[in-house]
Amino acid sequence: MTSANPLPPSPITPTVDFDRDGVQHGFLRLPYSRDESAWGSVMIPVAVIRNGNGPTALLTGGNHGDEYEGPIALSDLARTLDPKDVNGTVIIVPAMNYPAFRAGTRTSPVDKGNMNRSFPGRPDGTVTQKIADYFTRELLPRADVVLDFHSGGKTLDFLPFAAAHVLPDKAQEARGFDAVRAFSAPWSMRMLEIDAVGMYDTTVEELGKTFVTTELGGGGTARAETIRIAKRGVRNFLRHTGILSGDVDLHETRWIDMPSADCFSFAEDAGLIETMADLGDPVAAGQVIARIYPMGRTGTAPAEIKAGHSGILAARHFPGLVNPGDCVSVIAVTE
């Protein structure tokens, strides 16, 4: 049955041909009229490396603009990937939320849109919603496998892990975890989301695609170690799927799980945070893992943050100051 109000076409125009063999570097051009440019556009860089009619991988970074391992690894891959080594198509978008990436912020300075809470998007919505809609209706239908790089941005720091989700479709779930294993990060996560509405992940998985994501450090920067993990992981991902020739470069990985909402701890007070455990440290249920000192006066006892269950510290709040509602820590269970 045809909808009475079908969505209009996307306003985004690609300057590349996704069906042409070879290497192309271009843009996803989104018209955006503003004070500085009356007939201006947002120009989102994209690369397409294609050789024949094999499977298609969609590789993305910069879903949040203050996360850098993905944009670095994907910019390097777009520059160096030889189509003779490719069987199929690799679509690379190093910075999905390009306005946020240019500003170095999690959300877009144009409309405050959080790209990873804006899916499936709208072609007649905000700039962020229009980008999300283009991925949903134009790029994702082309893809067989999807890799979306994340890290902690300015406010979180993570153990470096690749992740997939537990899904109702167990065959799809198995494909995801097999791809995580091939990515070969030091840690591999069976991931629980605390806020899955509007996520790119959810849209990809609802379309039946194999999906892998990452959290590779954080603090608003990228380290040499996490960049190496990202560069090796993306090539392993492509080799695992048969799109890139060569053997997967497997490294040791340890599996961790997030079995419940008790994994997360949140601040109820503002103040100066004292971290009581480092990433990777074992913690016990009820152990104090952080203290929050009020900054209005001296002599006041700090609030204590306790682990909801036993495991290892997989993520922590990064800045020295914390506000009510901030995620302070994530405790993962080792397998």
pLDDT at 111 over 60: yes
Asked whether residue 3 carries a pLDDT value surpassing 70, the answer given is: no
Kindly report the number of other CB atoms within 10 A of residue 263's CB atom: 21
Q: Is it the case that residue 163 has pLDDT exceeding 80? A: yes
**191 — pLDDT class (breaks 50, 70, 90):** confident
State residue 260's pLDDT score. Answer: 86
Q: Tell me: pLDDT of 298 over 90.
A: yes
pLDDT score, position 150: 98
Q: What would the mean pLDDT of 51-69 be, rounded to a whole number? A: 97
Q: What is the mean pLDDT of residues 244-263?
A: 94
Mean pLDDT of 120-137: 98
Looking at residues 198-214, what average pLDDT do you find?
Answer: 97
- Rounded Cα–Cα distance for residues 159 and 24 (Å): 35
Q: Which residue has the tokens 């440019």?
A: 37
What integer is the mean pLDDT of 192-207?
89
Q: How confident is the model at residue 4 (pLDDT cuts 50, 70, 90)?
A: low
What's the pTM?
A: 0.96
Is it the case that residue 113 has pLDDT exceeding 50? yes
Q: Distance (Å, rounded) from C-alpha 109 to C-alpha 91?
A: 26
Give the pLDDT score at 195: 74
Mean predicted confidence (pLDDT) in 70-86: 98
Confidence check: pLDDT of 2 > 90? no
What pLDDT sits at residue 1? 42
Domains and CATH numbers, the chain: 13-255 (3.40.630.10), 258-334 (2.40.50.100)
